[in-house]
Structure 1
Amino acid sequence: MDWVKALSPKLGSISSVSEKKLGSLWAGYGFVSRLIVKPQQQSYIAKQVRPPPNGKGVGHERKVHSYEVECSWYSGPAQYAASAGVNIPLPVLVEKDGSGFTIVLKDLEPDFPNKSMKGAMGVKELKPALEWLARFHSAFWSSPASQQRPSTESLWPQGTFWHLGTRMEEFDSMDSDDWLRDKAHEIDARLRGFSSFAALQAGETPSNQHQTLVHGDFKAANLLFSSNSTEAAAYDFQYVGRGLGALDVAYLIICSSSLPVVEQSEDELLAHYHHHLMSCLDARGQSDKSYTMEVLRMHYDLATLDLFRFMRGWGWWGAIPSSRGDEYARKIGARVFGKHL
């Protein structure tokens, strides 16, 4: 791409742009580069999406649409989130070119130079990440807001990359006698704001209470930290959409931490997120006393079971070893459904 031509209308006079490839996108759908713009000596991150021309199937359509959603995010809601104090990269260029997409973002690394340590995140790293989630979720909380928010209609109606509606192939690959398969539609319905799956089938209108925007892929690989590691920033918004904030919290803790963290610090981490979310909502004049720790725990348990359902069909990873996955899931299921499973 002729970067000088593409970026000059956005950045002013440019003498040259050097490009260094940083890595490939998932499944070879493009690549990410760092651009150094001269004479300003400013760095930017370019995400060039180039789907395979012979791509087909549900997985291909999901990936392509995820980049369309990311373009929509950076074209509107991102600026609103940044104005609410959420640390994210702001766009310089967002465009669709042919069958692909190009997104150029301000580089976060000068202000957030620390990447998550290799391996599992510890409590020290998880807490600023959870504070990031609290700010992000509060900015799009379901309670009436005094500010005018940008439309989120072009984002996913149901955020996350693993929700049941977009992962039926994985659902079909689960064992036919898997109890999580039997409960999958009930869990999905409750996460979407229905009182039950039966209510969804009966045409009940789902509740918007406690719904917000979720990042949808909130993991260690998509996070950066300030030099003193007290603040986090996040990127990769392909799966941003509506949902319960606990979906992001569960994915972060279950898939980016370790078994000792889950077993010893889960309650502490949930309380940390809840405290900061309540503080953020209070600061925005949107106090929500109905969102108690008990409600958060129920949402977190549902989100964890939903994630386990996906992993049972796709492949297991994260803090809970596969050898203990069913034991752990059944313990949560007993809390959610009030009976031994």
Structure 2
Amino acid sequence: MKNNEHEFNQLLSEIIKTTHFIKTEVIQTLWSGYGEIARFETVEPDLDEFSDVRDMTFVVKHIRPPVIQQHPRGWSGAISHQRKLASYDVEAEFYQHWANKIKPFCALPQFIGQASLSQSCLSSKMIVMSDLDSEGFPTRLTTASAENSKICLHWLARFHAYNMQHDPLDNWPNKLWPIGTYWHLATRAKEFDAMEKGPLKDAAVELDKSLNNCRYKTLVHGDAKIANFCFSNDLAHVAAVDFQYIGGGCGVKDVVYFLGSCLDETTLELQFE
């Protein structure tokens, strides 16, 4: 354990160019016990760790896959495990090669650095990024009014417009998911089999085919639920996080998934137009 901690601290210090930092809080654990997201602060060299004086804050997403995988809803398995591992590689790729170009148009964390950890476990890595709380986005919501949801829809509209492809290359988007989003038919075989028979299940294959073969493709966030948006205190501005399932696709998938994550069925029906 001490060797793992030493390696983590050594790699992190190389990324942020200082050995003077402390972990101030665990923001959240990763899905199915695959690690944690934590906030760190750099400190002046001549101050002890209990000083109130701080310099820069930053966030580290530390991926540590468990030896035994347990999905909270019972969808564990080798395929699910490999998809999770791939999702963290995709996210690291997005932050390193895409995010900083997109940030001026759509608020999201700035990429600082990444590293693989050899001693802790296979596929363990860290992604270091800027702290959105310190950039003016400290508020999190679990639900939203129809009015408040518009700021997230505006973010998605800018994101989709910036990344719109009229004639994408064969390998676009390189090293991201060819088909973005957490939910699409090719990756949800168990869930599809568990669905009750009905019109939606009967139409699933054709619906999935239509979405995947849309004329104009863009980058879709892939997991655009309300929990993955960070708001300013006045709820007038928003930033997005968690890009594990970003890839090519039809932007409406993000929109529908987002609306379903924060508005109830009555509000959705009343606000449809």
Common fold, TM-score beyond 0.5?
yes
TM superposition shift of 1:42: 1.2
Judge conservation of contact 1:114–1:229 (CA < 8 Å) in 2: no
Residue of structure 1 equivalent to 2:60: 46
Distance, in Å, in 1 between the alignment partners of 2:110 and 2:183 is 26
Distance, in Å, in 2 between the alignment partners of 1:157 and 1:18 is 36
TM superposition shift of 1:80: 2.0
| Aligned CA distance change for structure 1 residues 6 and 17 (closer, same or farther; 3 Å) | farther
The structure 1 residue matched to 2:96, chosen from 75, 78, 88, is 75
Residue of structure 2 equivalent to 1:222: 228
* 1:139 is the counterpart of 2:162: yes
Distance, in Å, in 2 between the alignment partners of 1:174 and 1:180 is 9
Judge conservation of contact 1:211–1:245 (CA < 8 Å) in 2: yes
| Aligned CA distance change for structure 1 residues 114 and 260 (closer, same or farther; 3 Å) | farther
Judge conservation of contact 2:23–2:40 (CA < 8 Å) in 1: yes
Structure 2 counterpart SS, 1:115? coil
Judge conservation of contact 1:123–1:261 (CA < 8 Å) in 2: yes
Structure 1 counterpart SS, 2:176? coil
TM superposition shift of 1:11: 3.2
TM superposition shift of 1:152: 2.5
Q: Percent identity?
A: 32
Judge conservation of contact 1:29–1:49 (CA < 8 Å) in 2: yes
Written as runs of structure 1 = structure 2, the 5 A alignment for 1:293-312 is: none
Distance, in Å, in 2 between the alignment partners of 1:109 and 1:165 is 36
TM superposition shift of 1:241: 0.5
Residue of structure 2 equivalent to 1:89: 109
| Aligned CA distance change for structure 1 residues 230 and 132 (closer, same or farther; 3 Å) | same
| Aligned CA distance change for structure 1 residues 28 and 173 (closer, same or farther; 3 Å) | same
TM superposition shift of 1:115: 2.3
* 1:107 is the counterpart of 2:113: no
Residue of structure 2 equivalent to 1:249: 255
Number of matched residues? 246
Residue of structure 2 equivalent to 1:320: none
Distance, in Å, in 1 between the alignment partners of 2:167 and 2:183 is 29
List gaps (5 residues or longer) in structure 1.
194-206, 268-341
The structure 2 residue matched to 1:236, chosen from 231, 242, 256, is 242
Structure 2 counterpart SS, 1:76? helix
Distance, in Å, in 2 between the alignment partners of 1:18 and 1:214 is 32
TM superposition shift of 1:48: 0.8
Judge conservation of contact 2:37–2:60 (CA < 8 Å) in 1: yes
Judge conservation of contact 1:213–1:245 (CA < 8 Å) in 2: yes
Distance, in Å, in 2 between the alignment partners of 1:16 and 1:43 is 9
TM-score under structure 1 normalisation?
A: 0.67
TM superposition shift of 1:31: 1.0
Distance, in Å, in 2 between the alignment partners of 1:255 and 1:158 is 21
List gaps (5 residues or longer) in structure 2.
45-53, 70-76
The letter for the 2-side match of 1:134 is: A
Structure 2 counterpart SS, 1:157? coil
* 1:34 is the counterpart of 2:49: no
TM superposition shift of 1:62: 1.5
Distance, in Å, in 1 between the alignment partners of 2:87 and 2:23 is 28
The letter for the 1-side match of 2:61 is: K
Residue of structure 1 equivalent to 2:72: none
TM superposition shift of 1:151: 6.1
Structure 2 counterpart SS, 1:89? coil
Written as runs of structure 1 = structure 2, the 5 A alignment for 1:133-282 is: 133-143=156-166, 152-175=173-196, 177-193=197-213, 209-267=215-273
TM superposition shift of 1:88: 0.5
Distance, in Å, in 2 between the alignment partners of 1:263 and 1:114 is 31
The letter for the 1-side match of 2:271 is: S
